[in-house]
């Protein structure tokens, strides 16, 4: 029997908003997880074992750190891995995330407490947009500052993706006059990725993509940018041991380049609402 990786969560921000719920399920010994399409409920073990690793996804680890949840879970035998999205501070896109300096301090504290090898920095998504009557621009303005802070914290990997213009995103922007997204051309994607690769490479940070195989394939041969895996079970095995499955997660966007291995996502779009209010979010209404 393989050990379980819990994903907490692709569907919402559990570290920022729902850690009390998470800990109640840990105490109870199981999560009740509703399928987002069929609404069928399954029960997922929450005990260690069979849970070997919990992968936390967040844009705000402040409540997680303040609540001391990491050390508590580690004392209980859980291994932790962190996907921390730190994007530029642009209120029109991310109105309710903490100030950038606060998020960079959180990044430093996570790396100090759990080791930088257990923290993956995400700049996600990269997007082109117009705010008001100005020209189309990207959201990379704070990337040098974030990269410098990440490198100083020991971060050696960064994952990026380009925004997908889902129908719900289009409907949401229609309700917010003055902001409009633009889809980058393949040439623009290549230019952006090469620029980020050079910036990060100078700081010892390797660049990986999430679900961007076509953009990676268009890069010149000298580029080291590679498709990544946000549930990186091979890497988690190297960090923590265990018997994690290396089977590809076929429920994810494999055709687009998702390299994730099997995990169980225990979040819910509706039961665990996210309060960040990001304009480009695929999860919100």
In the chain, the largest separation of any two C-alpha atoms, in whole Å, equals 57
Please choose, from the candidates 115, 98, 25, the residue with its C-alpha nearest in 3D space to the C-alpha of residue 63. Answer: 98
- Predicted local confidence at residue 285, as pLDDT: 59
- Predicted local confidence at residue 284, as pLDDT: 65
DSSP 180: E
Where exactly are the structural domains of the chain?
4-265
| Environment class of 267 (CB within 10 Å of its CB; exposed 0-12, middle 13-18, buried 19+) | buried
- Predicted local confidence at residue 122, as pLDDT: 98
Which residue ranges of the chain lie beneath pLDDT 70? 1, 284-285
- Predicted local confidence at residue 69, as pLDDT: 98
- Predicted local confidence at residue 111, as pLDDT: 98
- Residues 190-233 have pLDDT tens digits of 999 999 999 999 999 999 999 999 999 999 999 999 999 999 99
Residue with token string 């990337």: 143
Please choose, from the candidates 167, 188, 199, 159, the residue with its C-alpha nearest in 3D space to the C-alpha of residue 57. Answer: 159
């Amino acid at each position: 029997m393989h050990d379980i990786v819990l994903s907490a969560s692709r569907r919402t921000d559990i570290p920022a908003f729902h850690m009390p719920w998470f800990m109640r399920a840990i105490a109870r010994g199981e999560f009740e997880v509703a399928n987002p399409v069929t609404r069928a409920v399954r029960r997922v073990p929450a005990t260690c074992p069979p849970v070997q690793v919990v992968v936390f996804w967040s844009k705000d680890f402040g409540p997680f750190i303040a609540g001391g949840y990491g050390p508590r879970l580690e004392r209980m035998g859980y291994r932790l891995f962190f996907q921390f999205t730190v994007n530029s501070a642009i209120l029109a896109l991310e109105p309710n995330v903490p100030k950038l300096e606060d998020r960079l301090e959180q990044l430093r504290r996570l790396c100090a407490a759990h080791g930088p090898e257990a923290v993956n920095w995400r700049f996600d998504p990269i997007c082109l947009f117009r705010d008001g009557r100005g020209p189309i621009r990207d959201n990379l303005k704070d990337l040098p500052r974030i990269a410098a802070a990440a490198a100083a914290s020991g971060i050696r990997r960064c994952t990026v993706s380009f925004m997908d213009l889902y129908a719900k995103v289009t409907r949401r922007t229609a309700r917010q006059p003055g902001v409009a997204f633009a889809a980058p051309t393949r040439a623009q994607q290549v230019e952006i990725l090469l620029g980020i690769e050079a910036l990060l490479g100078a700081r010892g940070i390797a660049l990986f993509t999430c679900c961007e195989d076509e953009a990676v394939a268009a890069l010149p041969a000298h580029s080291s940018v590679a498709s990544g895996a946000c549930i990186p079970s091979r890497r988690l095995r190297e960090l923590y041991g265990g018997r994690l499955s290396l089977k590809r997660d076929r429920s994810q966007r494999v055709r687009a380049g998702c390299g994730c291995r099997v995990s169980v996502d225990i979040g819910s779009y509706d039961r665990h609402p996210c309060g960040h209010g990001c304009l480009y979010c695929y999860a919100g209404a």
